[in-house]
Structure 1
């Protein structure tokens, strides 16, 4: 599988990585969720080159994760805002941050503390079943093949069809 062909794979993770699977892209998204919107602010916070930042922002806009919104007319200036599709990445970013807080933090702990705005308590993200409300862990899921995807597409993507239902 080639990196440039990820978006063509019959795998939702591969297709997602084709859009957001880059360290600079994830840091841009982190900053978006922290309220950063303008190119110069992204650049000063991240220390990334203008070329790389322009490329990542363009890709996020083209894929519908961010949208450009004008904030000044003369000269025209635009800022980047999360779309509905971009906002849907919030759980992904929060889970990655909390994984880093747990396994990669130094002796001082998490650099940022996430609190639930309504109750003021520290927030710990978890997956829950939308039907019953129970917490869901890796051993609580069953993965089945979607009949709309034939075995050929999965085999081509390197998925062992026999292991899909285990």
Structure 2
């Protein structure tokens, strides 16, 4: 079996974030949690994923602080999974993936699930990135400032 590469000590926030999420099953679990799924069986029915894979992903999301495992709200012996504050902070990520998918993977009239603002009954506006002064930013308007490592340390890590 191939050992999974870890990025939890990376200088890159994207790499650490991907490391925390794990894989696409985990993102779909988070999506379903936003849609109201709380119990193992609900996630399993929605995703159709093998139980051992689902159990491993749920365990990883709990360990990573994205989900909490709590006693079932109905007082039964079961437990439920709820998004933590860290997990709820993934909302813009899920919305961005949804909007990107709507724009690139569906024909104009092809039906698909739709996120709707509860107050107005319409889809939210497309997410945008803005500068501190309010300007809309695109990929050509930003740069990433890499961590500068001492030459000796950089040679050891290569």
CA–CA separation in structure 2 for the residues paired with 1:30 and 1:155? 41
Q: Secondary structure at the match of 2:128?
A: coil
Residue 125 (structure 2) aligns with: 124
* Structure 1 residues 81 and 14: CA distance shift in structure 2, 3 A: same
Contact 1:68/1:78 (CA < 8 Å) preserved in 2? yes
Residue 82 (structure 1) aligns with: 83
What's the TM-score once normalised by structure 2's chain length?
Answer: 0.83
Shift of residue 52, structure 1, vs aligned partner:
0.3
Shift of residue 151, structure 1, vs aligned partner:
5.1
- RMSD, matched Cα: 2.5
Residue 26 (structure 2) aligns with: 25
What are the ranges of 5 or more consecutive residues in structure 2 without an aligned counterpart? none
* Structure 1 residues 11 and 128: CA distance shift in structure 2, 3 A: closer
Q: Tell which deviates more after alignment, 8-17 or 130-139.
A: 130-139
Question: Residues 67-146 of structure 1: matches in 2 within 5 Å?
Answer: 67-71=68-72, 72-74=74-76, 76-106=77-107, 108-109=109-110, 111-129=112-130, 131-146=132-147
Contact 2:70/2:81 (CA < 8 Å) preserved in 1? yes
CA–CA separation in structure 2 for the residues paired with 1:112 and 1:105? 11
CA–CA separation in structure 1 for the residues paired with 2:124 and 2:112? 14
* Structure 1 residues 155 and 28: CA distance shift in structure 2, 3 A: farther
Contact 2:131/2:137 (CA < 8 Å) preserved in 1? no
Residue 8 (structure 1) aligns with: 9
What are the ranges of 5 or more consecutive residues in structure 1 without an aligned counterpart? 159-166
1:63 aligns with 2:67: no
Instruction: Give the length in aligned residue pairs.
Output: 154
1:150 aligns with 2:149: yes
The 4+ residue runs of structure 1 with deviation greater than 6 A are: 153-158
